[in-house]
Structure 1
Amino acid sequence: MLGDEHTVYTFRLLGFEGRVVNENENVISIIKELSLEESVGALLITSDLVDRVREDFDKMRMKMRKPMLIEIPSLREMKLKEVNYLAILRSVLGI
């Protein structure tokens, strides 16, 4: 799980491993680094991070088989709108 401090810490409470990504860090480099780890099957990445590197992220998502790259809203975004995680998962899986 990659995202802002609040979202990552909340997901950690739910049992996910996570990493807080600061504004000056390269999101694509972090994804590439984590994709080399055998134990990583999926990466949840908050939309605010994806928006910083949208074009490269979309290319990686189409090419990579593992890990699965899943864009999710941050906790801040969730407060502003209802989130349908099932729809997000279906979109990622192409169903």
Structure 2
Amino acid sequence: MGKILLMGDKYTASLFRMVGTEAQVVEDPFNLQKEIDNAKKRGDVDLILITRDLYEPVKEKLETVISNQTKPLITVIPSPFSESKPMDVRRMILRALGFG
């Protein structure tokens, strides 16, 4: 079974580490593409969670990368500093199964 990797700010990373999830602090959103590429090379990561505040500044650059990625599955989650929006869990599950 693969790992979950969070990429985000130090506060969100600390929260995820407390529950046993691997977390990586990414300070500069413009380094996010490089960090995603490094995580994809590892092979043991099945899910990458990216905090919304990290994703928003580089959204246009990463949108196609994230939408076309099947393994690891990449999804954007809210952080304590971002405005939260409802998540479409059904869409996420279908996409994880290869139907979306």
User: What is the TM-score with the length of structure 1 in the denominator?
Assistant: 0.80
Partner amino acid for 2:80? Answer: L
Deviates further, 30-39 or 17-26: 17-26
More strand by share: 2
Aligned residues, how many? 90
In the TM superposition, 1:1-95 aligns within 5 A as: 1-23=6-28, 26-77=31-82, 84=86, 87-94=87-94
Query: 3-state DSSP class of the match of 1:7?
Result: helix
Which segments of 5 or more consecutive residues in structure 1 lack a partner in the other structure? none
Q: Following the alignment from structure 1 to structure 2, what is the Cα–Cα distance between the partners of residues 93 and 56? A: 24
Which aligned segments of 4 or more residues in structure 1 are displaced greater than 2 angstroms?
87-95
8 A contact 2:51–2:77 mirrored in 1: yes
User: How far apart in 2 are the matches of 1:70 and 1:76?
Assistant: 17
Deviation, 1:17, is: 0.2
Scaled by the length of structure 2, what TM-score is found?
0.76
Distance 2:66 2:75 in 1: 8
**Letter of the aligned partner of 1:36 in structure 2?**
K
